[in-house]
């Protein structure tokens, strides 16, 4: 896909609380066009909460900005081009794999023919070109995860947030997905991946670790 113009993504003192429980505490981060950033940390460190705060899907203190625009909510984030590959796929199980990829494209205003073509290309990129007509509930966990990756890729956003995108995958498909995330960064997008897998994290340009909900830079982007 064509390269995109992407302003900086800036998190300033972002905090996420669920009742009295603190998931993310005063996390700050800057990411720039073409960067592939891994967010690491122990289970329960707040990686998913941080990504969903960037996506505008959870209430958060502090601010998340893409260029001059401060993210207000999920719809606003999507309008800015912030897309998500959720952990656990979050597919509509009674729709086909292709329909799961097509629906968000149709919601963004693509024609039926364009949505179908883009969905087909995205499914092929994750090795599921022959599975587009299968219901999501008929697919294995790893296949469902790859459909979720295809859905995120098809949206061709300016920022792609990937929450444990390789967790259900075997080695070959993990490498395929990581290469696709790298390609998203190469076209100019900002890619932020939450992962517990140190080998996956090592393939990113930079790494930040969540420790007690705060971001600590481990590696700066190359």
Q: What is the pLDDT of residues 21-61, one digit of tens each?
A: 999 999 999 999 999 999 999 888 899 999 999 999 999 99
Region 198-219 average pLDDT: 88
Region 106-123 average pLDDT: 96
Region 139-144 average pLDDT: 94
Alpha-carbon gap, residue 122 to 151, rounded angstroms? 7
pLDDT at 219: 75
pLDDT at 7: 95
Region 183-198 average pLDDT: 95
The SS3 of residue 218 is strand
Please list, residue by residue across 32-61, b when 16 or more beta carbons sit within 10 angstroms of its beta carbon and e when fewer do.
ebbbbbbbbbeeebbbbbbbbbbbbbbebe
Closest CA to 34 of 189, 161, 152, 155: 189
State percent of the chain over pLDDT 70.
98
Per-chain mean pLDDT for the chain: 93
Alpha-carbon gap, residue 115 to 99, rounded angstroms? 9
Helices 141-154 and 112-125: angle between axes, nearest 10 degrees: 130
Query: Is 2 a residue whose pLDDT tops 60?
Result: no
Supply 219's token pair. 């590696």
User: Cα separations (Å) of 157 from 24, 105, 197?
Assistant: 25, 11, 24
Region 98-127 average pLDDT: 96
pLDDT at 73: 95
pTM score? 0.93
pLDDT at 222: 66
Closest CA to 136 of 94, 170, 177: 94
How many C-beta atoms lie closer than 10 Å to residue 140's C-beta? Answer: 9
Please list, residue by residue across 187-207, b when 16 or more beta carbons sit within 10 angstroms of its beta carbon and e when fewer do.
ebbbbbbbbebeebbebbbbb
Region 145-156 average pLDDT: 96
82-108 pLDDT, tens digit per residue, is 999 998 778 999 999 999 999 999 999
Alpha-carbon gap, residue 171 to 15, rounded angstroms? 34
55-77 pLDDT, tens digit per residue, is 999 999 999 999 999 999 999 99
Region 181-190 average pLDDT: 96
Query: Is 178 a residue whose pLDDT tops 90?
Result: yes
């Amino acid at each position: 896909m064509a390269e995109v113009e992407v302003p900086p993504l800036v998190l300033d003192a972002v905090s996420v609380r669920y009742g009295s429980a603190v998931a993310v505490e005063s996390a700050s981060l800057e990411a720039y066009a073409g960067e592939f950033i891994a967010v690491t940390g122990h289970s329960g460190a707040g990686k998913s909460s941080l990504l969903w705060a960037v996506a505008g899907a959870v209430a958060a203190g502090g601010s998340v900005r893409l260029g001059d625009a401060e993210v207000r909510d999920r719809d606003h984030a999507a309008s800015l081009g912030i897309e998500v590959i959720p952990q656990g796929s979050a597919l509509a199980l009674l729709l086909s794999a292709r329909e799961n990829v097509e629906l968000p494209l149709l919601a963004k205003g693509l024609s039926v023919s364009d949505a179908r073509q883009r969905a087909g290309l995205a499914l092929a990129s994750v090795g599921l070109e022959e599975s587009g007509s299968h219901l999501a509930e008929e697919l294995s966990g790893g296949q469902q995860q790859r459909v979720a990756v295809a859905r995120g890729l098809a949206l061709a956003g300016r920022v792609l947030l990937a929450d444990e995108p390789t967790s259900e995958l075997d080695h070959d498909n993990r490498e395929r997905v990581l290469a696709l995330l790298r390609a998203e960064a190469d076209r100019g997008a900002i890619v932020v991946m939450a992962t517990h897998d140190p080998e996956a994290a090592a393939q990113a340009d930079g790494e930040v670790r969540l420790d007690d909900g705060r971001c600590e830079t481990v590696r700066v982007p190359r």
